[in-house]
Structure 1
Amino acid sequence: MKIIDVICSAGKTGFYFDDQRAIKKGAVSDGATYRGEAVTPGFTKIRQSGESISVMIILEDKQIACGDCAAVQYSGAGGRDALFLAKDFIPVIEKEIKPRLIGREADNFRELCNLVENIKVDGKKLHTAIRYGVTQALLDAVSKSNNCLMCQVIAKEYNTKVLSEIVPIFTQSGDSRYENTDKMIIKKAQVLPHGLINNVKEKLGYDGEILEEYVKWLKNRIIELRDDDLYNPVIHIDVYGTLGVAFGNENYEKIADYMGKLAEVAKPFKLRIEGPVDVEDREKQMIALKTLRKLVDDKKYNVEIVADEWCNTLEDIKYFTDNKAGHMIQIKTPDLGGINNIVEAVLYCKSKNMKAYQGGTCNETDISARICAHIAMATGPNQILAKPGMGVDEGYMIVCNEMQRILALNNIIN
């Protein structure tokens, strides 16, 4: 079935763009925003409204396939592409992508993704957010052309099987790390709460004492609110490199010992620590996480390290995986560009016995979240992020319900 048109519309995301560097430098939280000056290029404020672009592909039978271009909350940081504003990038899609797609058959997802991934302007690939949204729309177009589910397209083209149960869902608390945790426990989220520990003074403590108290509270709250002891979620905390800020980025022993201490506090629940350090360089970040993993393993601490910053592209993910830089890799979906790269990243991690966290950002949309659920159900990562937003209920509902629909439909639609 041929593509006859490509239409774009500007939209909003489920959260905001935040200037991570300004926040790390001590920007003061003020209600739902921050006080202070932006420091990352492209930002005019520390917190700005998240923007998206819906890409709608019109097929010759008038079916409409859709994908949403979106970029991560902390755009422009950690080696990522610049701030993504709809007014700047709709013209790029209309000029560089639309003419290349019109008239093509929507019959092969991988081939169409390769087409988009290889478009270059002034010697550079298109912004990751553009590639992310356009390839979502292409997956939807191929599934509609073949009267099947999006996950079935992936399974067929990558020789996998659609899962027979849903992927564990990881929920984000934002700064409401107490009230939102209650929501997660009530919904029996399998992984929680993220925590947003992005400030040493207010959230970690210069000796880690604030986070230690929070983990203790988390453990006790889960035990207090759960219906039975069969509910044993993983405690997953994102510390945004603050352990390195507090203890010294190369003070590996102290950082490892602190994580081991937190693991003891978290018992009987498994603990994961995401982004213990951020050294502002890909090679140094890999070495740091590789070193920390070895220390943690040698000391037999019951904690897993999750790689995030500076592990953005498919190439990065393979590099960190091959070097055992952490126990789990966050596949931050918008950062990879084309969603074909998400598929390949999950499958590569699994082939190398590295745990795969199919993540993303609170700053996505309902459509990108649902399509990511199809990718997860076709590839089988260890966990998937509930998104968009930081409200817990909405993101969890979107991702959970889409995976449940897949379970109900997979054996009916072939």
Structure 2
Amino acid sequence: MNPIDAQFVVGLSGYFVKDFQAVRQSPQYNPLGDDNIRPRTPGFKSIVQAGQIISILLHLPTGGIAVGDCVDVIFSGAASRDPLFIADEHLKVLESVVRPWLLACDISRFRQNAGKVESGWLDLQRRCKLHSAIRYGLTQALLAATAQVHGCTIAEVISREWGTPISDRPIDILASCHRNDTLQLDRMIMKQASLLPHASFVHISDIGPNGSILAEYVRFVAGRVRARGCPGYWPRLHFDVYGTLGDLFPQLDQLVAFLNELAHAAQPYDVLIESPIIASSKAEQIRQLRELRTALRQNSTRVKTVADEWCNTLEDIKEFADAGAVDYVQIKMPDLGGVDNSIEAVLYCGAKQTGCCLGGSANETEISARITAQVALATNPDFLLSKPGIGADEGLTILTNEMLRGIALTKRRRLSRI
């Protein structure tokens, strides 16, 4: 079965994009009003810009329409990622090269089509790949199309083609909150988010002298959960520090000592620290994170580490997992390109007994978030990152309800076959 038409519609992402290098070097910047800081990453006209997407609409012979959204991450173009996604730059290729292929594509199976999307395209100069955002959106649309053809959920397509069991419960979600929004944090505690608050710390000034601001914030969040949480609610506390701890504590023993301080501040809850270090290369990132994880274990420090920067592709994730560099990797779905790569990444991490977050970016959309939820049901990662946006409520709602609907539909079909 082939699509009968394809449309490409430019739209808005769920957040915005930032020039990571410029932001990191300008701690006093005004995120929405400072025009005096020069962009440092190619493609950026200002250090903060509205995010763009391209919706791919596949018109099916059945009368249905399968949709996928091409999106990139907030810190696009950083740490080996593809360049900033500028929608207009890709429309010509989509119309002239991708559209004819889509119309000739047999959408009754997904995996073989995803493999083509990920490979080099002879029609493009130097057999180059499509931008990761385009590959992400294309495979979303193709996956949704295959599900419609078979009258089943996306999770069931993945389960059939990869031979995986579908979870009978929703996967845990990390609710991403702004660190200065106490009301938002309280709502996530009330809704019993499994992990919170994410709360980005991008500059050394954010974490304070000797990390004092971060330590106090960890203490505050733990206290808030104790005071506002219902009996039996026991979340994990997650904080994304964007390498600031490695900048502030360049010596391993200093960093371990501070992370031990954070563990005490968070008691009685477990702590996850994302990107404690950002090194100058992938090899160095793996080496330093592996040393840190070993030292934390030797010190019996109750802190788990999460990789993000330099861990962008399926190959990267395999290297981090093979090295045992961290307790968890974030599978940042737009960076991996095809959805099939994210599926493979979750399954590889499971085989290697490395934890994983099937994540992505606040810059995504409700379409990509719902597809993420379906992928999670079929692959069983340790947790998801709430998306789109950093409103927490919206992402938690979209992901949770999509998983609950998917579980209900799968159970209904199973019972009908008995």
TM-score category of the 2 structures, normalised to the smaller one: over 0.9
After superposition, what is the alpha-carbon deviation per residue over 1:262-317, rounded to whole angstroms, capped at 9, x for unaligned? 01111110100000011131111111111111111111110100010000000000
Does 1:132 pair with 2:130? no
After superposition, what is the alpha-carbon deviation per residue over 1:362-387, rounded to whole angstroms, capped at 9, x for unaligned? 00000000000000010000000110
Equivalent in the alignment of 2:97: 96
**Secondary structure of 1:30's partner?**
coil
Matched ranges for 1:145-156 at <5 A? 145-156=149-160
1:323–1:34 Cα change, 3 Å: farther
The correspondence for 1:211, drawn from 176, 190, 214, is 214
Equivalent in the alignment of 2:168: 164
Gapped runs of 5+ residues in structure 2?
A: none
Matched ranges for 1:212-361 at <5 A? 212-228=215-231, 230-248=232-250, 251-361=251-361
Q: Distance in 2 between matches of 1:80 and 1:140?
A: 26
**Secondary structure of 1:10's partner?**
strand
Q: Distance in 1 between matches of 2:328 and 2:216?
A: 25
Deviation at 1:359, TM superposition (A): 0.6
After superposition, what is the alpha-carbon deviation per residue over 1:347-366, rounded to whole angstroms, capped at 9, x for unaligned? 00011100011010000000
Q: Distance in 2 between matches of 1:152 and 1:297?
A: 39
**Secondary structure of 1:356's partner?**
strand
Letter in 2 for 1:305: T
Aligned partners of 1:28 and 1:34 also within 8 Å: no
Aligned partners of 1:280 and 1:310 also within 8 Å: no
Q: Distance in 1 between matches of 2:376 and 2:12?
A: 24
Equivalent in the alignment of 2:54: 53
1:33–1:345 Cα change, 3 Å: farther
Aligned partners of 1:27 and 1:34 also within 8 Å: no
Aligned partners of 2:39 and 2:47 also within 8 Å: yes
Q: Distance in 2 between matches of 1:225 and 1:267?
A: 15
Aligned partners of 2:31 and 2:48 also within 8 Å: no
Equivalent in the alignment of 1:199: 203
Aligned partners of 1:177 and 1:193 also within 8 Å: no
Q: Distance in 1 between matches of 2:27 and 2:44?
A: 14
**RMSD of Structure 2 on Structure 1 (CA):** 1.3
The correspondence for 2:182, drawn from 178, 181, 189, is 178
Equivalent in the alignment of 2:372: 372
Does 1:62 pair with 2:63? yes
After superposition, what is the alpha-carbon deviation per residue over 1:85-138, rounded to whole angstroms, capped at 9, x for unaligned? 111112222222111121222111110001111133323211100000000000
Aligned partners of 1:11 and 1:51 also within 8 Å: yes
Matched ranges for 1:32-43 at <5 A? 32-34=32-34, 36-43=37-44
Letter in 2 for 1:93: L
Equivalent in the alignment of 2:147: 143
1:373–1:22 Cα change, 3 Å: same
**Secondary structure of 2:377's partner?**
helix
Equivalent in the alignment of 1:107: 108
Deviation at 1:31, TM superposition (A): 6.3
Q: Distance in 2 between matches of 1:304 and 1:373?
A: 24
**Secondary structure of 1:40's partner?**
coil
**Secondary structure of 2:210's partner?**
coil
Deviation at 1:175, TM superposition (A): 4.7
Deviation at 1:25, TM superposition (A): 0.3
Q: Distance in 2 between matches of 1:129 and 1:327?
A: 27
TM-score of the superposed pair, with normalisation by structure 2: 0.96
Deviation at 1:29, TM superposition (A): 3.9
Quick one: percent identity of the two aligned structures?
A: 39
1:33–1:178 Cα change, 3 Å: farther
Q: Distance in 1 between matches of 2:43 and 2:179?
A: 25
Q: Distance in 1 between matches of 2:92 and 2:9?
A: 11
Deviation at 1:59, TM superposition (A): 1.4
Aligned partners of 2:179 and 2:197 also within 8 Å: no
Q: Distance in 2 between matches of 1:321 and 1:378?
A: 21
Does 1:381 pair with 2:381? yes
After superposition, what is the alpha-carbon deviation per residue over 1:225-248, rounded to whole angstroms, capped at 9, x for unaligned? 1122x1111000000000111122
Q: Distance in 2 between matches of 1:217 and 1:11?
A: 38
Letter in 2 for 1:247: F
Gapped runs of 5+ residues in structure 1?
A: none
Does 1:410 pair with 2:413? no
Letter in 1 for 2:51: G
Letter in 2 for 1:236: H
**Secondary structure of 1:306's partner?**
strand
TM-score of the superposed pair, with normalisation by structure 1: 0.96
Deviation at 1:390, TM superposition (A): 0.9
